[in-house]
Amino acid sequence: MTMEEVFKKLRSLQEILSQKFEIEREMEEIPKILATRTELLNRMKKSYLEKTQEYETKSRYIDELRNKAIEAERVREGFEKQMDMIQTQREYEALDKEIKDSGEKEQDLRRDLQREEQMLIEMKVNLEKDESMSSKQEEEVQKEQSRIKEAVQAKGKGLKTLEKKEKSITPGLDEEILFKFERIIKSKAGLGIVPIEHGVCSGCHMILTVQFVNDVHRGEGIMFCPNCSRILFYQPEDLEEQGEEEEESGEDSGEEDEESETDEAEDDD
């Protein structure tokens, strides 16, 4: 295989790999959206459960209040019946006080009861609101789950197609070069092989030494940019215009943080 053919293969491979990595990234993101929704749903369910318990406690308290009010009423009526049997003024005054006291107690209890019952009605309304929100959310999560299942299947198919294409290209290419190449494409937004343009790496715009450009020109082996680690190939000056157009689709990655690219380049060895 000539260097020309190797570069051609690498460029086809670059297109496939960048699509493949993009799909893989998307597939990683998919479950995260669902996780957020599921978490929200669980929080809603928990809050609903807590409010239900509060509602039940309030209901029990109201039952107790009602029984106390009924009991107070019975006591007051008991005193009132005794009025018929009163003989002395002193007895009358004592009984009259009992009737007043028990009547006041009864009224207090009934006021409390009314207030608590009003609160219970409001709690019930809120609970019903929460319940309908929670079931809507549950429905959303289920819809999302089936959407995700479909999306994952579709992306999985796309991935398989790309992997087939990848396998048809890789035979004959050096495995170590392939490994490095994949890593560069993954970290450099899809651009792993770029031409030298006017003595500059068109990936990161670093000025290359004349010696280095000559080595690439001789084409005796794969050369990596010492700054961004991309594979460099030589193209004659009169082809550069055309070459620039070809590479334009992925060109935007070229201006990124060069400091970190240097670090990554050193790591590669």
**In the complex, minimum distance from the CB of residue 225 to Zn ion, in angstroms, rounded to a whole number:** 3
Please state, in angstroms and rounded to a whole number, the distance separating the CA atoms of residues 165 and 163: 5
Dihedral of CA 76/81/87/89: which sign? Answer: positive
R_g over Cα of the chain: 41
Give the one residue of 99, 228, 231, 265 binding Zn ion; rule: CB under 5 A: 228
How many helices (H) does the chain have, and how many strands (E)? 6, 4
Q: Does 185 bind Zn ion (CB under 5 A)?
A: no
Select from 5-13, 42-50, 99-107, 195-203 the region that touches Zn ion (CB under 5 A): 195-203
Query: With respect to Zn ion, which residue has the nearer C-beta, 137 or 227?
Result: 227
Q: Does 203 bind Zn ion (CB under 5 A)?
A: yes
Site for Zn ion in 206-225 (CB under 5 A): 225
DSSP 89: H
Stretch that binds Zn ion, among 44-52, 57-65, 70-78, 198-206 (CB under 5 A): 198-206
Structure tokens at 193: 């092989």
Of the candidates 183, 186, 206, 211, the residue with the CA atom closest to the CA atom of residue 196: 206
Taking the complex as a whole, the smallest distance from the CB of residue 194 to Zn ion amounts, in Å, to 7
**Does the footprint of Zn ion cover residue 202 (CB under 5 A)?**
no
Residues lying near Zn ion in the complex (CB under 5 A): 201, 203-204, 225, 227-228
